């Protein structure tokens, strides 16, 4: 307002004028503070409202984080499948583009799926009879088995002496092993523990296979025995050894099969033969849990039944149920049993008991029906 319009008012009029201007300025300041999110100052003598907590600072722009290290979060996946296109947390933010390149591999499994009990009593008799029937009957009527027209227990050569053990491979053309051998593109992995019986490996190498035998008792790390026959001072196990232990004890150097495949740069194994003296159950479990089976064409395993095996425990019935569940996992991976050999030269023991007319040792051969 114009001060000259206040005649005769003197200092009182000027005081009221200044007070009004101050009130207008205060109201405008309060309005601006409220818009900015701040609280107006408390009036003298009266408690003001509680101050609002400060807003968290905004993250810096991506250009400012160029030198910062990225923080990665690892999610442990459950047995349930993630939705298609989902990330580790199971949900995908809207608007995200689909992943590029090869599809992501399935996450690790931590245990196999146990089969239902063979009977309501959950007894050893029920479990043992189901298991022995599964590994002893080779007929097409059973879904788990398959007929192989050309089973070789030695090699492709007809003048070779018989093998000491019936390590059998299927040479049907539909599974491709015979073709791979003839083209000298076959690869055999042999897992053993100091056995002198290498007749099968020598025969396969002579027929054209690239043979790798893993034996922790050999003195050198890698030995080329012949043109196609390698020895490696490694023991295939269900876990990798600690580097410090491997440095102190070179003869106890152990690796998982997936680790060896990565180190050697091998993506496929046409035949995997294993004679692991009761470690076969845990090694087989590891191959299943880590999805290594899809890289294998045929399996030849010597299984031992006189005791549960390394790091397999529980009641007798639960142990046999675990064995049977492993074989059913192979079936789910499209492996079919085509040959079974009962070794009558070994003690007739089943979990330390002379029962069921069972041998303590069987040699089983499977073929991957999806192998190309």
Q: What is the pLDDT of residues 256-281, one digit of tens each?
A: 999 999 999 999 999 999 999 899 99
Exposed, middle or buried, 316 (CB in 10 Å: 0-12/13-18/19+)? middle
Lowest mean pLDDT segment, chosen from 55-64, 108-117, 199-208: 55-64
Segment 29-43 shows an average pLDDT of: 60
Residue 70 scores a pLDDT above 50:
no
Q: Does domain 124-137+165-368 have CATH number 3.40.50?
A: yes
Residue 61 scores a pLDDT above 70:
no
What token pair was written down for 340?
Answer: 């079974």
Residue 307 scores a pLDDT above 80:
yes
- CA 138, chain centre distance (Å): 31
Confidence band of 348 (pLDDT split at 50, 70, 90): very high
What token pair was written down for 225?
Answer: 């025995």
Q: Using DSSP bridges, classify how beta strands 229-232 and 222-226 pair: parallel, antiparallel or unpaired.
A: antiparallel
- DSSP reduced 3-state for 20: helix
Specify whether the CB–CB gap between 39 and 48 falls below 8 A.
yes
Spell out the residues 6+ positions from residue 264 whose beta carbon is closer than 8 angstroms to its own.
Answer: 212
Q: Where are the domains of the chain?
A: 124-137+165-368
- CA 117, chain centre distance (Å): 26
Residue 192 scores a pLDDT above 90:
no
pTM of structure: 0.67
Tally of CB atoms within 10 A around 346: 14
What token pair was written down for 132?
Answer: 């022995």
If one compares 328 and 93, the residue with the highest pLDDT of the two is 328
Segment 334-356 shows an average pLDDT of: 93
């Amino acid at each position: 307002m114009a001060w000259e319009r206040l005649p005769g008012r003197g200092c009182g009029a000027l005081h009221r004028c200044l007070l009004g201007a101050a009130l207008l300025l205060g109201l405008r300041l309060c309005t601006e503070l409220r818009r900015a999110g701040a609280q107006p100052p408390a009036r003298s003598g009266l408690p003001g409202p509680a101050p609002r907590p400060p807003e968290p600072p905004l993250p810096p722009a991506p250009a400012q984080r160029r030198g910062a290290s990225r923080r990665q979060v690892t999610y442990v996946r459950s047995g349930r499948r993630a939705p298609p296109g989902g990330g580790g947390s199971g949900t995908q933010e809207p608007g995200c583009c689909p992943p590029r390149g090869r599809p992501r591999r399935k996450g690790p499994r931590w245990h196999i799926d146990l089969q239902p009990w063979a009977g309501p009593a959950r007894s050893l008799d029920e479990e043992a009879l189901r298991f022995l029937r599964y590994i002893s009957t080779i007929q097409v009527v059973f879904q788990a088995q398959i007929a192989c027209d050309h089973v070789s227990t030695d090699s492709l050569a007809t003048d070779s002496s018989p093998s000491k053990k019936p390590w059998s491979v299927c040479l049907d053309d539909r599974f491709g092993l015979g073709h791979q051998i003839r083209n000298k593109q076959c690869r055999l992995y042999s897992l053993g523990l100091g056995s002198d019986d290498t007749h099968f490996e020598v025969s396969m190498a002579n027929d054209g296979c690239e043979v790798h035998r893993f034996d922790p008792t050999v003195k050198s790390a890698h030995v080329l025995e012949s043109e196609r026959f390698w020895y490696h001072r490694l023991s295939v196990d269900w876990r990798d050894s600690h580097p410090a232990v491997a440095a102190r004890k070179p003869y106890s150097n152990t690796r998982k099969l997936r680790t060896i495949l990565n180190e050697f740069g091998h993506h496929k194994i046409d035949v995997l033969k294993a004679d692991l003296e009761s470690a076969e159950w845990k090694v087989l479990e590891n191959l299943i849990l880590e999805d290594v089976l899809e890289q294998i064409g045929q399996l030849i395993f010597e299984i031992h039944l006189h005791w549960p095996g390394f790091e397999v425990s529980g009641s007798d019935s639960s142990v046999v149920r675990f064995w049977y569940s492993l074989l059913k996992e192979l079936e789910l991976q499209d492996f079919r049993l085509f040959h079974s050999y009962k070794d009558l030269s070994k003690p007739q023991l089943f979990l330390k008991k002379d029962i069921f007319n069972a041998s303590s040792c069987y040699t089983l051969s499977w073929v991957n029906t999806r192998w190309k």
